[in-house]
Amino acid sequence: MKYKKLIIIYIGIMLLITACLGGPRSKEVIEKDTLSLNRTTYIGYSDASDHGYAMAVVTLEDDRISKVILKEFTELSVEKDFSTYEYAPSVEAYTSLPQRFVEVQGTKVDLIAGATASSIRYKQAVERALMGAKTQENERKYFDGIFQGRSKADNHGYGIALVEVKDDKITRVILKEVDENGELKDFTTYPHEPSREAYRQLPQWFVQSNSPDIDNFTGATHSTDKYKEAVENALAKAEVVKDLPDLIDGTYVAVSDVSSQGYSSARITIENNMIAQVELKEYDQVSAEKNFDSYEYEPSVNANRELPWAFIAAQSHNVDIVTGATYSSRQYIQAVERALEKAALVKKGGMYFDGVFQAKSKADEHGYAIAVVTIKDDKITNVELKYIDAEGKQRNFETYEYEPAVKAYRELPNKFTLANTYDVDTVTGATISSAKYIEAVKNALEIAKRYGWLMGSQ
């Protein structure tokens, strides 16, 4: 009996020591001695397929995963916009998996039903980001896998490359070209023979060179340059240890301040720390998009068509004003500057840009609402409301006879300002109008956000 008691005491002491030193854990952990101590953010990409690829931006604090941002890109290297995406399981994977990765401190999470492929891509991207966080000597340069890159766009489109890597060697390359309308070029019927031959022969050139550094294909210099850049960007995604970029891959939308003439928007695409594509739009005072195919003032048309290439060439928002279109040029420049700030890895300032932002509600058979919201130091300082009727005319509330609608128009601006939010009570008797005004203010605040690495933010 005496020896039995001693054995029990001994076992108890050993269990206590094991608990203090740390036994097996149910969740994955990141070993502290393998982490690079001068960084907290790491980026990883999944393999690419005919359905695109995923990207993960992983933030570590005190050697633990504190935040995960996920993105998914199509086979055309276009970021998916999950704020409007219609397939619910994919939206669920995008919105729920970041927190699950944080909770388990790793990638051992269940796949989302109906979004198995997306879930697997997200897990692989996070795994690779975490592997990039480990500091191991003699690490190979590239992950084994298939990686997709794209080139900058010009007025004929852009190039795409899928690069397969094995043991730090390029083993296969698939090339694609996207035309100016966003459609894949069909090289079985493409009329320019040098471009067809470049499309067929260059993949093997890249394999033989084991790099993007190949000679230009005679007669297809522009296509060759696009393919070379796309291969280079694909290899950048394959790197095990990546330098942190100033700009994060993806699509970013921002707007200029609104004035009496309207406002402008810029949609920019970032690839491997460069401005790859820019799309510009202009809107009038009632938030209707201007049609530059039929627009009569030529300098404004020139600004809309020429400035995208100027921003890409300059790799900056600092470009020259288009002669005769000073107002439009300045609005585009401001919108691009804000979009680039949204894309920046290192954020500055508050949650919102300072400025004056206009947005509208959804329209119904009675019309839609517009809100013009002024923001300063993250505070709503002024709100102006408009109501556009079914005929496209602005409602005159000085003569409008329905009193609750007039009351909503007059009282809600002050409510929004005092509450510093769109989330206010509707006005009795003007529920529908109030809801439209609330939606318009909400949308104005959304486009005024400085943060959010995506077209919609996680």
Residue 137, pLDDT score: 56
pLDDT tens for the chain, 458 residues long, are: 444 444 444 444 444 444 444 443 444 444 444 444 457 899 999 999 999 999 999 999 998 999 999 999 999 999 999 989 999 999 999 999 999 999 999 999 999 999 999 999 999 999 999 999 886 555 789 999 999 999 999 999 999 999 999 999 999 999 999 999 999 999 999 999 999 999 999 999 999 999 999 999 999 999 999 999 999 999 999 999 998 999 999 999 999 999 999 999 999 999 999 999 999 999 999 999 999 999 989 999 999 999 999 999 999 999 999 999 999 999 999 999 999 999 999 888 899 999 999 999 999 999 999 999 999 999 999 999 999 999 999 999 999 999 999 999 999 999 999 999 999 999 999 999 999 999 999 999 999 999 864 443 44
Residue 136, pLDDT score: 59
| Residue 139 counted as domain residue | no
Same domain, 314 and 228: no
Same domain, 153 and 174: yes
| Residue 414 counted as domain residue | yes
Residue 347, pLDDT score: 80
Residue 39, pLDDT score: 74
pTM above the 0.75 mark?
A: yes
| Residue 5 counted as domain residue | no
Strand 355-360 versus strand 145-150 pairing type: unpaired
Residue 233 belongs to domain spanning = 145-238
| Residue 454 counted as domain residue | no
DSSP string, 262-289: BEEEEEEEEETTEEEEEEEEEE-TTSPB
Same domain, 431 and 384: yes
Residue 140, pLDDT score: 87
Q: Could you tell me the sign of the dihedral formed by the alpha carbons of 55, 342, 271, 51, in that order? A: positive
Same domain, 394 and 439: yes
**Three-state SS for 80?**
coil
Same domain, 36 and 127: yes
Same domain, 149 and 220: yes
Same domain, 326 and 278: yes
Residue 150, pLDDT score: 98
Residue 271 neighbours by CB distance under 10 Å: 24
Q: CB-based burial of residue 231 (10 Å sphere; 0-12 exposed, 13-18 middle, 19+ buried)?
A: buried
| Residue 379 counted as domain residue | yes
| Residue 210 counted as domain residue | yes
Same domain, 187 and 223: yes
| Residue 325 counted as domain residue | yes
Token output for 240: 């095990």
**Structural domain count of the chain:** 4
Question: Which residue, 319, 343, 367, sits at the end of a domain?
Answer: 343
Same domain, 151 and 101: no
Residue 135, pLDDT score: 61
Question: Which residue, 216, 238, 260, sits at the end of a domain?
Answer: 238
CATH label of the domain that carries residue 92 = 3.90.1010.20
Q: CB-based burial of residue 183 (10 Å sphere; 0-12 exposed, 13-18 middle, 19+ buried)?
A: exposed
* Alpha carbons 244 and 231: distance in angstroms, whole number: 19
Same domain, 122 and 166: no
Same domain, 179 and 214: yes
* Alpha carbons 31 and 400: distance in angstroms, whole number: 68
Same domain, 114 and 152: no
| Residue 321 counted as domain residue | yes
Residue 138, pLDDT score: 52
Question: Which residue, 132, 158, 183, sits at the end of a domain?
Answer: 132
Phi, psi of 377 (to 5 degrees): 55, 45
Residue 27, pLDDT score: 45
